[in-house]
Chains A and B, each alone.
Chain A
Amino acid sequence: MSEKQTILIIEDERTISNFISRALSANDYRAIPAYTGREGLSLFFSHGPDLVLLDLGLPDMDGLEILSQLRGLPREVPVIIISARDRESEKVRALDMGADDYVVKPFGVSELLARIRSTLRRAERLKLSQGIQRSVYQIKDLTIDLSRHQVMLDGEEIHFTQNEFKIIELLAIHAGKVLTYDFILEHIWGPYSGSGSNQILRVNMANIRRKLKENPSDPKYIHTELGIGYRMLDD
């Protein structure tokens, strides 16, 4: 791609905004800083960025409000949330409202760049596939064949229960994206199943992890987002 990808940074802390801008320009992105929510929205419409970094704690507007405005548009632009460590419910709400990913303050530059790359790649892939669903997903040495209901690890088939397979399928379809507990529960056990405890999902996940010989300290396929949900890695 010859043209630089544009990233809109809606963040009221100038020092943070500055170093993000610097890091982005150093990595061949075009960075546009906005210091208030209103400025962010107007820059969004004038520049049409490829990705938005959105701080939830803005002085003039609720970050979630901006997110819902962006999500109401016909063109889906990926959004990565920047949020404080102790505001989990806010992050979960943002993800459920359609944010693609999140980073937690204090975050590192490399971590942020990795999230941006992966989100942009995913958006690119979605654009190319035009909504046509793949039936085979390949993550490292794990092959998930949706049409055959088959999961192969290193050429050997692994047997999962029906619900376990459904969880893997859902994660694979959304590979690279964080899926919240409630999102997964609703898709697999039906609406309102997430209102109480999410134990059933967590236990299923622990079993999947054991079958995949996955160590949570070094995840190869499924990443745990503590207190938020799960994400299947896409590279």
Chain B
Amino acid sequence: MLQHFKDFYHWLDVQHRRIPAIPWNLGVTALFLCAAYWASSILIGHTGGENNSALVFVLAVALISLLTSGYAYGIAASIIGTLCINIYFMEPYAAFSLSRTGYPVAMLSMVAISCVICALTARVKRQATEAVRREKNTKALYEQNEKLNAEKAAIQLESERAAIRENILRAVSHDLRTPLTSISGTVAVLLETPEVSPKNLSMLNDIKQDADSLIVMVENLLSVTRVQDGTLPLKKREEMLEEVAGDALLTTRRRFPDCRVALDLSEDILYLPMDPLLVKQVIVNLLENAIRHSGDREHITIRLYRQDDWAIVEVRDQGRGLSAEVCQAVRAGQPMPLSLSGDSTRGMGIGLSVCQNIIKAHGGFFTAENHPEGGAVFRFGLPTA
């Protein structure tokens, strides 16, 4: 029953919203007054002089004030209703008269009762709309809360995932580096032992070289996993580019003591945000690439300079230059051609791919070309801001 009434009220409310306020209010007022008039006419036919029309009109006024906005319509309806009763449902019929005893009192009290009803219904309506508004707010808050909770959960999950990945990477790198360090170190100790025969010495040298290049390879693979899936943020900080390049060169010189590399500094101080270990690795890779694959170990140069908003590092050799395949792959930002994974060029493909990925993650550019005077030039730029 209550549900039906609610539905009906809701329906009315919807209709109410569809029709502009003034026509709706006037319509409702007229409709209920007519209905009251009609009902009263029927009633008067049955009961004669003893009529209940006042009650019928009060009911109409109550409904009007419930369904219209503001007090005005209810009050107007109560005045019209009182007049109506006086004229049509009171003796003398069809004429206005205040001649009967006590009649003005009845009329005034009806107007007063109607007004009170108006005021009460208006208050009820206000409270109802307030309640609806509050309910809406609560609902919105609840929904927002739900959404925030979901977001929080997603962020937590993501950060947990990143932490797990970080831990795995750290564990893997530890588990790979430790044995490689001890292999390389143990061989280094053996190499300096006097009782090793020359034949064994060369074998030990091979082991040492392989262990060392495996160390480099592991570093590369770890960096590329770190950078490639994009979920681990770069550990960026402001760094002096010449110090990073110098450190890269020292590392390279330790591995290839007989090579000659010159570092050509710019007068500008290049101090910019980067992940220094990764950028160092790019330079180490480019130097190693030049040393191992260009056929030139004597005239390798690194040049640092500023061009517009870029800090540029250029690694140049005077060797045999790059194949068209490599230039093409670098230009297209594609992985290095498979032919570079052959034995003679072992590691070159991976090394260059790592460089490309690291520079891309920094928002920089990476190019490879042949110098007009011979040799290869690798160049990368990092944004200075």
Interface residues of A (CB under 8 A from B): 13, 15-16, 18-20, 22-23, 26, 57, 84-86, 105-111, 197, 199, 202-203, 205-207, 209-210, 215-219, 224, 226-227
Contact = CB atoms under 8 A, between A and B. Distances in A.
Interface in B170-194: 170, 173-174, 177-182, 184-186, 188-189, 192-193
A217 B181 contact: no
A108 B177 contact: no
Contact of B240 (A108, A110, A206): A206
Interface in B236-263: 237-240, 242-247, 249-250, 253-254, 261-263
A219 B242 CA distance: 12
Given A107-B181, A226-B244, A22 B189 contact: yes
Interface residues of B, number: 43
B207 to A, nearest CB: 13
Contacts, number: 112
B63 to A, nearest CB: 73
Nearest to B190: A22
A13 B180 CA distance: 12
Interface of B: 170, 173-174, 177-182, 184-186, 188-189, 192-193, 215, 219, 237-240, 242-247, 249-250, 253-254, 261-263, 265, 267, 269, 271, 276-277, 280, 302
A125 to B, nearest CB: 25
13 contacts: A13-B178, A16-B181, A19-B185, A19-B186, A26-B193, A197-B238, A203-B271, A216-B245, A216-B263, A216-B265, A217-B250, A226-B244, A227-B237
B20 to A, nearest CB: 64
B263 A85 contact: no
Contacts of A105: 177-178, 181
The secondary-structure label for the interface of chain B is helix
Contacts of A226: 239, 243-244, 247, 276-277, 280
Contacts of B193: 26
A193 to B, nearest CB: 15
Contact of B189 (A23, A203, A207, A218): A23
A110 B189 CA distance: 9
A16 B189 CA distance: 12
B242 A20 contact: no
B184 A108 contact: yes
B45 to A, nearest CB: 96
Nearest to A84: B174
